[in-house]
Structure 1
Amino acid sequence: MRIEVRCIEHLSSEQRQSLNLLYGPLIGKNSVCLYDFFSSIQSQIELDDIYLMLNMNVSQFDKARNHLEQYHLIETYIHEEEMLIFLYAPLMPNKFLCHDTYSRLYLASVGANCFDKIKMMLHKNVDVSSDYIKVDSPLDISKLDAWNESKEIAYEKVKPSIKQKYDFDFATFFKGMDRIFPARYRTNENLNRIAEMAKIYGVSAKDMRKYVQRSINPSTHVFDLEKLKYMVMGNRKIMETSKDPYQMSPVKFLQNKQNGIPVVKSDQALIERLCTEFQFPVEVVNTLIEYTLQQTHQQFSRNYVEKVAASWVRLHIDSRENALKVINQGPIENRKEKKIENVVLDEKFYAQKEDKSDSQIQQEMLELQKMLKEGKL
């Protein structure tokens, strides 16, 4: 198989620190070595050559590559006998240590003492004396005031396609939104957040247009994501989904479990955390919801849900099929090991036989000899 590596983001010295000191304990030395090797490749290379140069076998390579994929350091695409790998930079140290999932996994891996030392070592002092005055230079976007529909059409033809992480009908969402939601609002961050909320809370593209319009202040022209989230969380409509209930919005899935009663905000926030921070697919989140409700007599306990979610992260659960395999093994506390039972013999096996006297033994021998002569034995 032939591999082509495309370096999407180049590493700074801080990101290099993050890769070795923070990601390293989680993904292992082989994965760090493979990442460094990928970053040094300028052209295509044969997979067998990678095995040779890194002294890895097939299993070690696949495991190292999977770890890099899990932490979004690479993206892998395979077509017949070709593999295309996109290389992404690690999170900056401060973002890694504030990441709800990565930081917990790191703490569980290295312990609190090491965690504190690494945090202090990577800390950057950004305090500024009060004697200094910060100089702000706001971006001048006045040129966009004359932006019109024809310019937007021309822009759409030449702009690079945005790779969306979520399945959302942007074609319907953008229809008639040129003035309401112009180009300056359509950043990757905003679009991903809109698609993410639609998926989690079960909002159609048509309804999302309405909520987005209400989230833009007509006086200041500020797009308020928090206001949008507030309205989305209050959405009561059921978005049509596929026949598979595990592919529906997780919030609507839980609402269906409680006979249509709206999901409280604390439960909605927990579900959003499962989708965004634990980065589970929708089908895994819904399977997790169903499983935890069954185990806790229909109580959606945050502590228990997060405990199960963390274990599924460590087990690399990325599909409902894999989740069911873990569930079918049963809760860990109920998995009893087979005990070796001691064999207890009945008392009769321990009863001692009565010793015979010499005369009795001699008499029995004579009787046996007599029977032998007579042919009775």
Structure 2
Amino acid sequence: MAGFWMELQAIDSYQVKLNGTFNTIDAKTLTMLYQPLMGTSSLALYQTLAAEVEENRLWTAESRSHMQLLSMLHVGLEELFEARLKLEGLGLLKVFMKDADDTREYVYEILPPLSPAQFFGDGLLNIYLFSQVGEKQFKRLRTFFSDKPLPANDYKEVTRSFQDVFETFKGTAIPPDVNHVASEVFQKSKPTVIQLDKKTFDFEAFYQMLSPQLITREQITPAVEQALVKMHTIYGASAEELVTYLYRALEPSGDIDLEYLRKIVRNGYHIETGRLPALSMKKSAPKEKIPEQSEPASDEEALQIYLENITPFQLLVDIADGARPAETDLKIVEEVMEQQQLPTPVMNVLIEYVLLRLDGKIARNYMMTIAAHWKRKKVQTAKDAMELAWAEHEKYKRLQEETKDKPTNYSRRGNGKKEVLPEWFDKETAEPTDSKMTNKEKQTLEEQVREIKEKLKKR
């Protein structure tokens, strides 16, 4: 998904709010009815966010970074963002955002799913579920969430009202202002029914085609309009086609049979295409393509592209050949990102640089000091970070050579000025790297670049 990193970074913080209370039926509805539509990643995200709110609370106690969420779900930032979008589109999540300096603060409001009755009568979600799981499983699911009704003919209601049970208040004390509540009181959750935007359907053309002798404007109720928008969204039916279908769904009483309308539109789509509609994410923008070059991208360019488009978590996974990074390393990276507020691409370069300098190790103080230096330098892109790291490395190499040639005056240039190195070059007690990369470092970098180029070719 193009540009997802423009809306979400691993260092962005978030809080979770529950929209009321949830029950066991909600959990079953999510797993059995929503999961086939949105996938396991979205379900895991929903359940994880909901679980972060403590029992008998509506809010999380404190903000968290998305880095923690990525680590817990074991996914990349793009997959997390896509899972979030699906929850939003299905009416299971509301997202609120506030800009804060170089980062963003999010509030994720968890919404309950539709009840099974609402879901199967939705006219949108139930159709996509039918297409996804097939007729046999669809009927099984409907049976699972159904039960025999109360035999009303055999019983009559004898429930007493409030006035039948309780006496009217006759006291003299003035009751407190019970309606004034400073905090938010728990309430039963209210599901969000998906409402499609009517602007996506050309109602002006539709009404012009409609014959007033057959169907009047008054017969097109808001419920009928919403059904037409859903049919247009699901099956791509045009205004002209829906007018024809509407005539067929007209009952002798003058009412429009919406169930029959949905059925004939679905059958028409199946006859024309030979398949049922599938729920797929909308591609708002095409993926940015890497400009084709007559020659392959250089190692530096390939690495730069890679570091600009990956999360620190996934970078550590790639470096470890798919293994989960050590919790201590993740904790250090998360702490550095939160304290120094470095952009994700810059953090990626820092991780690469520290690992190369320290022979595959991550040292907290060393990384934190470099991050602070780069923050002061206002480094914002992977390219800037790579250039700065390379410049400092070259400066270090030059001083190393001067140390060998002129041990008594190694720190001064010909103009008498002292060569200045950032303080972090002397912070680490580990053996400094040679002026040239070791064979192991070269091999590691070459393997990474080769893998990056293979990934770029597949885009």
TM-score range, shorter chain: 0.3 to 0.5
Superposition TM-score, scaled by structure 2 size = 0.38
Higher RCO, 1 vs 2 (CA within 8 Å, ≥6 residues apart): 2
Superposition TM-score, scaled by structure 1 size = 0.46
